[in-house]
Structure 1
Amino acid sequence: MQTTAAKPHKSMFESHMHRYVEVQAVDGFCYDGVVEHVDHEWLCLAVPGSVDGLRGFFPIAGPFSPFRPRRFNRLVLPLAALTAISLLPYY
């Protein structure tokens, strides 16, 4: 007899809102980021990193430059594809 895993609940992710977490997907990949938004179908993470692809088109960002590098990118994952969530220390 084959058993199916329980579908993750929205409340499981809501309790970690605005915290730095690691989530694991059904396929084994792990993603880390800050929980930005949760609804009944999707989890939105702010993932640390910068977009270096724009660097060739704009001057290097300085403290007074209008073109500052992004510190976070948005990653949207379906709740149905997630199996686990854990808090990570933020340094």
Structure 2
Amino acid sequence: MNHNQHHIYDLCKKHMHAYVLAEMVDGTNVDGIITGLDDEYVYFAVPLESNEQQQMPTYQHHGSSDDYRQFGYGHGFGYGGYPGYGYGPGYGYGRPRFRRLVLPLAALTALSILPWY
């Protein structure tokens, strides 16, 4: 891992689960929430544009609740896939608001914290 890549790794680690703006080597920018990090990649939850949300199908549970839990796909599934308790009706259901994006650490040049509003 070179010096710049190590610096970006440290920034990503410091700002895990924060809403950030990542600048890429080619000059493009990506805003999203850092959800994971390893030696080679940084994982983001990137907000969908309103037209992308309209094209996405409504959430239906098929498989493990862990598959959907990370990015707003449905909190509230308890043991064995049965409905859980604690979030109230409608929380986490409907259309997804985020998509997953995996970027190589070597492609990032800068990271800035963004406000949530």
TM-score, structure 1 normalization: 0.75
Percent of pairs with identical residues: 43
Aligned residue in 2 for 1:26: 25
**Structure 1 or 2: larger strand share?**
1
Q: Unaligned stretches of 5+ in structure 1?
A: none
Amino acid at match of 2:14: S
Q: Quick check: 21-30 or 45-54, which moved more?
A: 45-54
- Residue type at the aligned position of 1:29: T
Partner of 1:8, secondary structure, is: helix
**Is the helix fraction higher in 1 or 2?**
2
Q: Hey, what's the Cα distance between the residues in 2 that align with 1:72 and 1:40?
A: 24
Structure 2 alignment gaps of length 5 or more: 59-88
Q: Is the 8 A contact 2:56 2:96 kept in 1?
A: no
Q: TM-score, normalising length from structure 2?
A: 0.60
Q: Aligned-pair RMSD on alpha carbons?
A: 2.1
Match among 85, 100, 103 for residue 74 of structure 1: 100
What does residue range 7-86 of structure 1 map to in structure 2 within 5 Å? Answer: 7-9=4-6, 10-49=9-48, 50-55=52-57, 68-86=94-112
- Total equivalences in the alignment: 79
Aligned to 1:87: 113
**Segments of 4+ in structure 1 off by > 4 A?**
none
